[in-house]
Structures are given as C-alpha cells and as structure tokens.
Amino acid sequence: MKMRNILSSLLFAYALTGVGLLLLAFFLYVFKLGETAVDVGIILICIFVCFMGGLMTGRFLRENRAFWGMLTGLAYFLLLLIVSFAVKRRLDMRVVHAVTTFCMCIGGGTLGGMLS
C-alpha cells in the first residue's frame, strides 16, 4: 500500500514536471529568456515538483511524513538518473551537478512531507 502511494505521488510529480517544462518552454519562446533564466526555471521546477510529491505522499501515509517525503524525492532523483542514462547511454552529469540535484530532490520531498 505504501509503495502504491509513493508511485502515485511520483507519477503526479512527473506529470507536474511535464507541465512545468512546457510552461517554461512557452515563456522561453514568448519572452526570449536567456540561459540563466532557463537554468533557474529548471531548478525551481525540480524543487517544486519534489515538494508537491512529498506533500502528496505525506498526506497519503500520515505517519513518518518527512521520511516518506524524502523517499519520494529520492525516487524522483533515481528515476531522473535512469531516464537520463537510458536516453544518452552514459551519465552526462558532473558530480557537483548530481549532488546538487540530489539535495534539491531530497530537500524538496522532505519539506513537502513535513508540511503535509
């Protein structure tokens, strides 16, 4: 039951990621945003969707919310790595970038779980 709740929260987070990236692409097209604005947008989307996934998981499970939110953020990060590896056939990420992304996903999920 807990795994089903985490998977549904993860699916929700990835759906939000798609919507967020589509909105970012729209704003990029309309406002001719620079590379820095796009990078900031991607970071904010990553943190927000992990937060929402953790929030959703915490509301489903109602106990150890921070832990389950953290686990949702971890699952989001791992799936992100797996998909990235499957598309490029290699890990095209520096260690600093991987650690930063890991911390953003874990932190967003944990915060969402705590605030649920």
Q: Tens of pLDDT along 19-70?
A: 999 999 999 999 998 889 999 999 999 999 999 999 999 999 989 999 999 9
Quote the tokens at residue 59.
């509301």
Q: Judging by beta carbons within 10 Å of its beta carbon (0-12, 13-18, 19+), is residue 31 exposed, middle or buried?
A: exposed
Taking the C-alpha atoms of residue 29 and residue 106, their distance in angstroms, rounded to an integer, is: 31
62-79: burial string, b at 16+ Cβ within 10 Å, e else? eeebbbbbbbbbbbbbee
Which residue range(s) make up the domain with 87? 2-115
Taking the C-alpha atoms of residue 84 and residue 58, their distance in angstroms, rounded to an integer, is: 27
Which carries the bigger pLDDT value, residue 84 or residue 102? 102
pTM across the whole model: 0.91
Structural domain count, the chain: 1
